């Protein structure tokens, strides 16, 4: 099945563990997973309108009726390991989400298509760099994808963050590297969490771990992630 979007950025996280049993590597195909499988999904970046059919119905980016391929859209593919806490990063040093419409949707599947609601990422003025995406499975099939918000509690009291719509911590786009002389690395960090059950009805519970960890600085866990994503905010602001 041909994938219509220009695969853009980095193919990240090829976690091919010996224990993988999921042979589905296309985001627009249906998979049934068990714990420790890899699972492929995509995130499409485009304008708000381009995710809606007939201006009213939000479809999966895999649905050809959207004709995202001929619009100004970009696609990132990921293959994290099911039920492991992962932090996906999208390096924005040469990819500015606002030049592709500023919104993103996470998606996977065809007959069992699931897609997240739209998330605002960036425009000329603001950029949101930190997200939590929940992948909810039932009996190993992806049922639902959604963005988990924390009501801006992670940026409370940090004067250079703005709380948008009472849900997203944003910084000024002009503070970003490559954007008007700013010094902040505005790469996107997407924290993943898994919930529900796999095909053997084992419970996926990385979600609970994320909930518990949220009170700490989650990013502090990812020692392989460059400082720039984390401590820069304290350093520069
Ligand atoms: C598109 O939306 C309009 C107005 O909401 C409606 O009248 C029309 O039937 C819709 N077309 C399709 C193909 O769904
Ligand atoms: C993004 O890429 C640039 C250029 O390669 C690099 O300097 C920067 O550290 C990267 N940022 C992250 C978060 O990996
Ligand atoms: C950028 O996005 C923010 C938050 O959605 C909005 O308040 C602001 O008006 C937007 N600015 C522009 C120039 O579109």
Domain ranges of the chain: 7-149+188-230
Counting ligands in written order, the one closest to the CA of 10 is: 2
Ligand 2 and 92: CB distance under 6 A: no
Q: Please list, in sequence order, all residues whose beta carbon lies within 8 angstroms of the beta carbon of residue 153, skipping any fewer than 6 positions away.
A: none
- CA 37 – CA 19 distance, rounded (Å): 7
With beta carbons less than 8 A apart as the criterion, state whether 45 and 104 touch. Answer: yes
With beta carbons less than 8 A apart as the criterion, state whether 92 and 176 touch. Answer: yes
CA 125 to ligand 3 center in whole angstroms: 6
Q: What is the pLDDT along the chain (237 residues), one digit of tens a residue?
A: 334 443 443 334 444 445 889 999 999 999 999 998 999 999 999 999 999 999 999 999 999 899 887 888 999 999 999 998 888 888 888 889 999 999 999 999 999 999 999 999 999 999 999 899 999 999 999 999 999 988 888 788 888 889 999 999 999 999 998 887 888 889 998 989 999 999 999 999 887 766 665 544 444 444 334 333 444 443 333
């Amino acid at each position: 099945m041909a994938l219509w979007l220009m695969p853009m950025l980095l193919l990240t996280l090829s976690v091919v563990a010996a224990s993988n049993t999921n042979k589905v590597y296309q985001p627009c195909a249906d998979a049934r997973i068990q714990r420790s499988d890899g699972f492929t999904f995509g995130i499409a970046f485009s304008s708000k309108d381009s995710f809606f059919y007939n201006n009213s119905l939000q479809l999966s980016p895999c649905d050809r009726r959207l004709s995202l391929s001929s619009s100004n859209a970009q696609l990132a593919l990921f293959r994290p390991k099911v039920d492991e806490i992962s932090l996906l990063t999208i390096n924005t040093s040469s990819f500015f989400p606002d030049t592709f419409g500023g919104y993103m949707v996470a998606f996977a599947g065809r007959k069992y298509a699931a897609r997240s609601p739209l998330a605002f990422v960036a425009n000329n003025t603001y950029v949101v760099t930190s997200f939590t995406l929940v992948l909810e499975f039932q009996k190993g099939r992806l049922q639902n994808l959604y963005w988990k918000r924390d009501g801006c509690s992670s940026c409370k009291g940090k004067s250079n963050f703005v709380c948008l719509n009472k849900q997203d911590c944003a910084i000024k786009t002009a503070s970003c590297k490559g954007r008007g002389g700013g010094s902040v690395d505005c790469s996107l960090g997407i924290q993943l969490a898994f919930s529900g059950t796999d095909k053997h009805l084992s419970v996926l519970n990385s979600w609970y771990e994320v909930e518990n960890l949220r009170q700490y600085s989650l990013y502090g866990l990812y020692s392989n992630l460059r400082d720039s994503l984390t401590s820069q905010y304290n350093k520069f602001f």
